[in-house]
Structure 1
């Protein structure tokens, strides 16, 4: 049966007939895709692929929109609630788990992905006893920490990647636990524990019974209702957060590749350079264990107001280029393992360990002295999306 244009309009839907056209209040990139005409007219939906940073999740086609205001986002969420759709937030897709978006959420399904990266408002309040920053979730951690540093503010610990969104970091209670070393005293405004400990208040989109609609509601730290939003793993829409901040301070990072895993991970009370002993010493430890190797890449961070004599002062973030842009011989092995040559895994681990050992020496990065705020001192490098065979990030990160 051939339908006239009038009958299609009466049915309340519009089929995208021309690739790249604007139909029914949304922009379509593929023929045959459609949304009801009731979809908010000021919001453009694009059809594209969803690929996470390390490429384990690859959805060829998915419906996505990019709200430029909170009001736009609320309007889409309310439309979705009335029309049998689900809306999921995304930042820079720096995730491994398909919790908020999964391969079944194809373009033919009823999932809309909200690209939150246009919501980047940022403001600083230094008038109170504790300084705070209020920001929207789409701002990248690189930008957030760089702006904070301009006000002399920082965090006790923070995620390593600069291209991770603030919303993404908050969704997973972004990483590091920042426990104190023995005798260490917190700077004003600082807090130990994970990133959620810094949240003073947030705004979230929630259901309102009185209006029978989704609305923006503010939650403060002293309200029990805030708890589910502190680590929501991508299943809530946080549109603004206020974090308490501390004054910037300097730290020393030492990298060691000569401590065996047996010594490092020995039971508390054992002799030697154990995790327990190092945490007592500095409170901040990171290890990267390469498969089938004996010695991890160990980084220890200590508060250092003045430059240690043996340290090299660095003037910016991401001081381990050898772990960001890997040599071709290593990426070739990674690719082969990905394609099923699992017997090469011991060679992969040994090669990666060799790249780190040589890289620390060649870049003089085994002992560096850094400014704290925007320089990603928890793990210290920026992870990049692959651009070529010789520019793959190390997926074991």
Structure 2
């Protein structure tokens, strides 16, 4: 096995779930899974090639940090694709979403022999040229948002169609609402997340320096995912179908994906095993905090569900992930049961029984094992009381931005850093709350 561990785009729906969807017996679920699976595979290949180029240039030996960050975990899409209880349409869609990553790879791979695909680097350059530079005139909001419409274009069988990204510009900073729901939702929700970062963490846009925020909506047809593509520095949103939908209207999804960008420009955590799970964890943390802010909920009042608005009615589940109770988010015959363990003991057991599968389908467990630090963050937030972003969020931010962790950070290293941050920001009692939370989930310092 190659150990790029780029795996798949870091989407809100993980690869293994997409794959299960693509094998579902329900045609509609299967179609969704197949399409999403195809998308994700192509993006992954693109990102791996990009990483290999950087690796050769800098003589590095570490893992791939360049990933596509999608909200739907791959295991969900895989589950739909393989389920005997879903429609063929849904299986096909899940498979296609997973395959989009392969498409992006073909689009960006140098030296393609296909006439249609030749010159991928020039196509990529042309696509990048469509992204407007930061205007010199200040905006009323202080940010620069651009929303593009892909008009359901993008074909997982034709890599060159990715030259269409970001698509047709339909909304720029300061524009009035459009007649398109997805466009207006992304435009509005993006501002909510940007303002949240600015007000509570004094962070300006995705890179801390006011970079423009580019989003593309209506990507492909029946593409059941949303992801941050760091190679193009933009968000991409599919429309979903009868199974997974509402990516543009779910604030924690927007916050999750935008935080993958923030992580890219700050700690640059790897996307493999524990470091990758921490990468996903940080996106869940800021996704859930902005959701709680919008809904005016304290840590005690919140449901701590990620992707609650993504699963359509009729699905036997409440969300894509539960931060408070990992492993309980869904249990549906069409795509399986939530596999997240809520402690290190469960993680080690899964590694023994499903190690190869985790490496292949979830980059060593980046989605599945993110539930462990997620639960720790919930416990810390509850321990402090009040709003999650007031103390717990500040501790996590100091760690994510303060240079205390490496790109290959482990759970225990991250835990130690949060304890140190709690002591630096507050006092010994705060540090004790943080340490006890990590101890509860099994991330225990061994002396």
Q: TM-score per shorter chain, which class?
A: under 0.3
Larger Rg: 1
TM-score after normalising by structure 2: 0.23
TM-score after normalising by structure 1: 0.25
Q: Which has the higher helix share?
A: 2
